[in-house]
Amino acid sequence: VIRAFSTSTLHFHAVKTVTVIGSGLMGSGIAQVAAATGHKVTLVDKTKEIVDKAEVSIKKSIDRIVKKKFPDDAKAQLKYSTDVLANLNMSTDVLTAVKSSDLVIEAIVENLDVKRELFGLLDNAAPEKTLFASNTSSIPIKDIASVTKRKDKFGGLHFFNPVPLMKLLEVIRIPETSDETYNLLDAFGKALGKTTVQCKDTPGFIVNRLLVPYMVEAIRLVERGDASPRDVDTAMKLGAGYPMGPFELLDYVGLDTTKFIIDGWSKRDPENPLFKPSPILNKLVDDNKLGLKTGEGFYKYNKQ
């Protein structure tokens, strides 16, 4: 029997060096986890002030992790932090960073034009073998990838917030993504300690495609006067076993984020009733009641 021997060669070029672009909430988390799992990481943002701030927040996150991981062992705590930070390099020079990267993960602002401009520059600067991935939540990967000449080496790596704690990684293929690229991205995700799932380049991938319409349906239920947010949350926690109710989750994620996602989908697919805008959601965002981060959304919070 003749067997294909391609599978054993697929992992020859496993991802070892990574550039993460955008040192905000997601980029910092992705860089931290990649460094903690032995990858050489460069985390890039626009200014020194921004990357310095990101470094401080990563150090705080590592501190929390070591205290949990090694509660009474100061030596082990120090070793873990030192090892992670030794793998992490902060930079404002993206074109130099990508020159020595096996993989570039983009986690910048959710704006197609800005992402396309960045990937256009990267395509010229990065070696031919370098894989490109976007962490976008709501923009079609194909619309970003089409600015490059390496669509076969392009995919989506969609992480969840907070990245160090959330176990899932959605690995997204566009039609041009090669098997080798997909396998390398999937293996990279597993090397980060994540459980990976595969999805095509469809709105919201798996999690957000189900979660966002569910949350907006919860708001519509309240809009119709059928029940209160508090009772909907209690019902879904105790009746469906969800750890958070939809309104708690909306406030946690940020109402502006959910509005942004649903508006983008509704523009692309106006006939889909699940993607219809919601008056209550629009009003709260207009009033800057965005949830936890502004102190008020569907609920009120004590601002720290």
Active-site residues: which are they?
137, 158, 170, 208
Q: Specify whether the CB–CB gap between 171 and 185 falls below 8 A.
A: yes
Least distance to ligand NAI from the beta carbon of 117, Å? 7
3-state SS, residue 279 = helix
CA distance 124 to 141: 19
The reply on whether position 24 binds ligand NAI by CB under 6 A is: yes
Closest CA to 22 of 100, 137, 129: 137
Q: 291 a known binding residue?
A: no
Query: Among the candidate windows 134-142, 171-179, 209-217, 229-237, which touches ligand NAI by CB under 6 A?
Result: 134-142
- Of 114, 165, 210, 244, the one binding ligand NAI by CB under 6 A: 114
The size of the chain, in residues, is 304
Positive or negative: CA dihedral 102, 95, 31, 292: negative
The reply on whether position 23 binds ligand NAI by CB under 6 A is: yes
Q: Specify whether the CB–CB gap between 85 and 37 falls below 8 A.
A: no
**Which residue type is seen at 258?**
T
Q: How many CB atoms lie within 10 A of CB 206?
A: 16
Q: 178 a known binding residue?
A: no
Least distance to ligand NAI from the beta carbon of 61, Å? 14
**Which residue type is seen at 29?**
G
- Of 21, 174, 255, 285, the one binding ligand NAI by CB under 6 A: 21
Query: Among the candidate windows 154-162, 180-188, 233-241, 270-278, which touches ligand NAI by CB under 6 A?
Result: 154-162
Q: 110 a known binding residue?
A: yes
- Binding-site residues for CoA sit at 61, 68, 137
Q: Which residues bind ligand NAI (CB under 6 A)?
A: 21-27, 44-46, 50, 107-110, 114, 118, 135-137, 158-159, 161
